[in-house]
Structure 1
Amino acid sequence: MLLLDDVHKVYGKNKEKKVEALKGINLSVDKGEIFGVVGFSGAGKSTLIRCVNLLERPTSGKVIINGVDLLSLPPNKLREQRKKIGMIFQQYNLLHSKTIFQNVAMPLILEGKSKKYIQEKVEELLSFVGLEDRMSHYPEQLSGGQKQRVGIARALATDPDILLCDEATSALDPSTTEAVLDLLRKVRAEFNVTILMITHEMNVIRDICDKVAVIEGGKIVEQGTVIDVFTEPKTEIARSFVRTILNDETPNSIKKLIIENEQSDSGKAYRIIFKGSSTSTPLLSDTAKNFSVDLNVFHGMLTELQGIPFGNLIVNIKGEKEEINRAVQYMINHDAIVKELTQDEI
């Protein structure tokens, strides 16, 4: 559906003033997926998404949508392809002198559609986003969430194959954010639209995305399914984003207790991650029954990721080394992720 192949974006021609905003981006998004790209400010997120529809033209690489490399197209063909790419902006980008109806109708007017078609299409879209009673209102008469719904309706006007969301919820409060995410889920379900989301909010990634890529310094440093990146982040930046959601930072009092236990030879600390089926079985209890080990939960939490139960515990395991190894392998065989922690990782 969407493929970014070794995409680079360099600003400035002077060698001393060159800025490499993107450094070899490789990204693949399948049809019907909601794919999130997360990163801190200045990481290259917005440049990346603007390169997808060529609002920013990449310095090199390929931007392929439905098998077509946009960079190879002449201007007239590129304009046609862009009609299949909708975009939702952080600050809505609505025309304040136009009514809500006129804002949504604008892409269709520019396409030269008939008045009858525009009337029917805009009414259909405003009904879809729940604003059919606001057609004659102006943007300043709407709340932030309602403005973003108008932005979504406008982005859908040309029946796009892909929807680009550039920090679409960052200006909204939490309850309004959830309502907008619900609407985007509905968009995907009813229109089979592929969605690429740029955000710095890891809760948005958790709540709606199928896959996620982490961008830092213009490079994709990690990517995978949301459940995999949340349960086993491989880079420090991914771990820092995950911590903002899972709140798995170990309290100092617990760290002290773990260190004291290890120094007194009272067991080792392990991080045990449960996901899916492993959360529905009494795994710790079964392990204690089947092996000559003592287990003591020091710290942890249970939550849900993409509808899948998820647990993250720090557990002290005490016993003979061989028996501990057998107990750890038993838990791994039952779909848990088990890792002995060093003092730096606690």
Structure 2
Amino acid sequence: MLVLDDVHKVFGKGKDKKVEALKGINLKVDKGEIFGVVGFSGAGKSTLIRCVNILERPTSGKVLINDVDLLTLNPRDLRKQRKKIGMIFQQYNLLQAKTIFKNVAMPLILEGVPKDEIKEKVTKLLSFVGLADRMNHYPEQLSGGQKQRVGIARALATDPDILLCDEATSALDPNTTEAVLELLRKVRDELGITILMITHEMNVIRDVCDKVAVIEKGTIVEQGSVIDVFTEPKTKIARSFVRTVLNQTIPPSIKRLIEESSQTNPHGIYRIIFKGASTNTPLLSNTAKKFSIDLNVIHGMVTELQGVPFGNLLVEFKGDREEINRAIQYINENDAVIKEVSKDAI
């Protein structure tokens, strides 16, 4: 288990030169989770992940791995703990003059592991990542996705408990990204390794993570399960990230229709969110039949998030206000979320 407890990181000295990169970060990553941290450039993502393995030493706070605070350890014990933290980099960080076998073996060579053990382990790891036939190749002979697989194999060489991924897919095309994410799921599922990944790509969070935290200006502004953050983002930045993958952009013609409708029916536009089993229920049809209202679906989409059906609709209600309120209560009682929205918030 990984816990960041009120972690601060300040760069520079002197009142005018200080830059507060992290401002009281609190995160808990349970064993076997894939936890994503998403944010724009400069938000503090890379500083956060480097504080986990103390490549950057936090100014204050605690970094606990399996209840051991890394900030309390002497250099020798810290080096020992770091062996249990693997790292995958955006630009692979491979040794160009070494074969793929030697790149993966390097952490073991530095530890003084016997050659026969190195050969057995590296061969097994390269088979695990699908590169057993490339062990005598050099990095320049591999594609970007293959290089990242080498990076993953190297990170696994020391049998880590935690794997840190620093923008591990941002240099890859979509198909290769999907393959690398599938490999990371395999690492978690078959090896039981906890994964903390930082990214600016919300599709990565959607496809592989169990939980997500949104970081902005050194502060975690929102966190929770992926399904909760995607379906009900509470902050402006989280909503902007979600829109990049759920395609909730409303066409201009629909916006004009909503604006025209709001002039004659100012309290009748609602967003309805369906999750799980509620997406299979004819809720809107039942609502229209049960109450004396007119119901018009203006815009929406239905998709799937990690195996869970999800729907997001904009709906216009027309009718008596009391009857609309009864319909709203009915929808809330049937495992859907309904909220009134203004035309400015659409």
For the superposition of Structure 1 and Structure 2, which TM-score range results when normalised by the shorter chain? over 0.9
Preserved CA contact (<8 Å) 2:2 2:64: yes
Mapped to 2, the partners of 1:9 and 1:36 lie a distance apart of: 20
The answer to whether structure 1 residue 39 and structure 2 residue 39 are counterparts is yes
Provide Cα deviations, 1:88-124, integer angstroms capped at 9, x if missing partner: 0000000001000000000111111111110110000
Mapped to 1, the partners of 2:47 and 2:250 lie a distance apart of: 36
Residue range with higher mean Cα deviation, 171-180 or 305-314: 305-314
Preserved CA contact (<8 Å) 1:266 1:318: no
Mapped to 1, the partners of 2:283 and 2:17 lie a distance apart of: 57
Preserved CA contact (<8 Å) 1:145 1:177: yes
1:74 aligns with: 74
**In the TM superposition, what is the alpha-carbon distance from 1:285 to its structure 2 partner?**
0.8
2:123 aligns with: 123
Mapped to 1, the partners of 2:14 and 2:162 lie a distance apart of: 35
1:315 aligns with: 315
The answer to whether structure 1 residue 290 and structure 2 residue 281 are counterparts is no
Provide Cα deviations, 1:217-243, integer angstroms capped at 9, x if missing partner: 001011011111111111111111011
**In the TM superposition, what is the alpha-carbon distance from 1:247 to its structure 2 partner?**
1.5
- 4+ runs of 1 displaced by more than 3 Å? none
1:198 aligns with: 198
Provide the TM-score with structure 1 as the length reference.
0.98
**In the TM superposition, what is the alpha-carbon distance from 1:289 to its structure 2 partner?**
1.3
The answer to whether structure 1 residue 138 and structure 2 residue 138 are counterparts is yes
> Residues 1-346 of structure 1 correspond to what in structure 2 (within 5 A)?
1-265=1-265, 268-346=268-346
Provide Cα deviations, 1:107-165, integer angstroms capped at 9, x if missing partner: 11111111111011000000000000000000000000000000000000111000000
Mapped to 2, the partners of 1:27 and 1:173 lie a distance apart of: 30
* SS of residue paired to 1:43: coil
Mapped to 2, the partners of 1:168 and 1:112 lie a distance apart of: 28
Preserved CA contact (<8 Å) 1:261 1:267: no
**In the TM superposition, what is the alpha-carbon distance from 1:323 to its structure 2 partner?**
1.1
Aligned identity (percent) is 78
Mapped to 2, the partners of 1:310 and 1:292 lie a distance apart of: 27
Provide Cα deviations, 1:275-317, integer angstroms capped at 9, x if missing partner: 1011011111111111111111111111111110111110111
Q: Give the number of aligned pairs.
A: 346
Aligned amino acid, residue 165 of structure 2: C
| CA RMSD in angstroms, aligned pairs only | 1.0
Mapped to 2, the partners of 1:306 and 1:332 lie a distance apart of: 24
Preserved CA contact (<8 Å) 2:98 2:138: yes
Mapped to 1, the partners of 2:171 and 2:62 lie a distance apart of: 32
Mapped to 2, the partners of 1:15 and 1:182 lie a distance apart of: 46
Preserved CA contact (<8 Å) 2:86 2:156: yes
Structure 2: 5+ residue runs without aligned partners?
none
**In the TM superposition, what is the alpha-carbon distance from 1:244 to its structure 2 partner?**
0.7
* SS of residue paired to 1:16: coil
Structure 1: 5+ residue runs without aligned partners?
none
Mapped to 2, the partners of 1:156 and 1:293 lie a distance apart of: 60
Mapped to 1, the partners of 2:315 and 2:265 lie a distance apart of: 15
**In the TM superposition, what is the alpha-carbon distance from 1:85 to its structure 2 partner?**
0.2
* SS of residue paired to 2:265: coil
Aligned amino acid, residue 341 of structure 1: V
* SS of residue paired to 2:61: strand
* SS of residue paired to 1:15: coil
* SS of residue paired to 1:312: strand
Provide the TM-score with structure 2 as the length reference.
0.98
* SS of residue paired to 1:324: helix
**In the TM superposition, what is the alpha-carbon distance from 1:266 to its structure 2 partner?**
8.4
Preserved CA contact (<8 Å) 1:85 1:161: yes
**In the TM superposition, what is the alpha-carbon distance from 1:14 to its structure 2 partner?**
2.1
Mapped to 2, the partners of 1:230 and 1:317 lie a distance apart of: 25
**In the TM superposition, what is the alpha-carbon distance from 1:329 to its structure 2 partner?**
1.2
